[in-house]
Amino acid sequence: MHMLKERGDRQILPSEITPQTVYRDRRRLLQGLGLALTGTALAGPASAQTSARPGKLPALAATRSPLPGALTMEKTTPYNDASTYNNFYEFGTDKADPARYAGTLKPRPWTVAVEGEVKKPGNYDLDALLKLSAMEERIYRLRCVEGWSMVIPWVGWSLAELIKRVEPTGNAKFVQFVTLADRAQMPGLNSSVLEWPYVEGLRIDEAMHPLTLLAFGMYGEVLPNQNGAPLRLVVPWKYGFKSGKSIVKIRFVDKQPKTSWEEAAASEYGFYSNVNPKVDHPRWSQATERRIGEDGLFTKKRPTLMFNGYEAQVGQLYAGMDLKKFY
């Protein structure tokens, strides 16, 4: 994730800013796949199964969300950009890797286990989840901690719909999201760049916020594998890495759970990870961002907004908290 950084106008190569162990591991990963390391991205078309062509995947009908803040008026990112520039380390660490290798992911059959501090734990089949609540289209900005952003029309429903149905107990203070870790489907698991499975977490009130979306689709179709099929989280006011892809388990817990990025580099990635332009990443500023598909390398970057522009909707969740301490 922390692979790309800029200093002045010069693009820094991953090898220059990535810890040596991670970089060597990544090199081994690519060599293992029989590929040569060619810098930030590998050339070549995406695999046939995951072609970034809209109209190829099944449609997923939705009505536009009535929620305040759910439909940004900003121009949406072209589908081709949103589906070929991804972070999904289970398929490799280069942005092009998920589109190229996620064809091996089998999004069906799929079950999500709900466990922990709930009165109604259980296993939910994907088809049951698809029908659990009315599908809405939400046009959200997604801002990556690396300094790029996209605007994506997601399809899904508020995670709160599921949470209400499973009836959390009074001990459910946090929610942990566990994503798929299957070596047979995910070549990136051979790398130790992160501990697998990829896990993320939210405070229960963050998880219950109506803007927190359990997404099953984007651009009116089911999710392409590389974007987290068959279901993922989208938490628009937090850095993209809080939005776990290909979720298999939702666990309600009483203590703040560890997350994959905290495990990997606690000084760089805190539990909250709210978009906050005033808190720099230890190795780069978070004050500005580049919009994928629109802003070229030499275009002046646009200012990053507090809570990624969702302050009016979510600011009160953090009233009284020192957001420099809880980064």
Residues at the interface with ligand MTE (CB under 6 A)? 1, 86-90, 142, 144, 179, 198, 227, 240-241, 243-246
Closest to ligand MTE by CB, 1 or 275 = 1
Location of structure tokens 């969702």: 310
Which amino acid makes up residue 270?
G
| Residue of this chain nearest to ligand MTE (CB atom) | 240
Q: Is the preceding omega at residue 277 within 30 degrees of 0, hence cis?
A: no
Residue 161 phi, psi dihedral angles, 5° rounding = -60, -40
Question: Nearest distance from residue 198's CB to ligand MTE, in Å?
Answer: 4
Question: Nearest distance from residue 96's CB to ligand MTE, in Å?
Answer: 12
Whole-number Å distance between alpha carbons of 137 and 157? 8
Closest to ligand MTE by CB, 117 or 143 = 143
Question: Nearest distance from residue 268's CB to ligand MTE, in Å?
Answer: 12
Closest to ligand MTE by CB, 152 or 168 = 152
CB 232 within 8 A of CB 215: yes
Whole-number Å distance between alpha carbons of 207 and 205? 5
CB 262 within 8 A of CB 194: no
Those residues whose C-beta lies under 8 Å from the C-beta of residue 152, and which sit 6 or more positions away, are 76, 77, 82, 139, 140, 142, 218, 219
Question: Nearest distance from residue 38's CB to ligand MTE, in Å?
Answer: 21
Closest to ligand MTE by CB, 86 or 176 = 86
Closest to ligand MTE by CB, 5 or 117 = 5
CB 289 within 8 A of CB 147: yes
Question: Nearest distance from residue 88's CB to ligand MTE, in Å?
Answer: 5
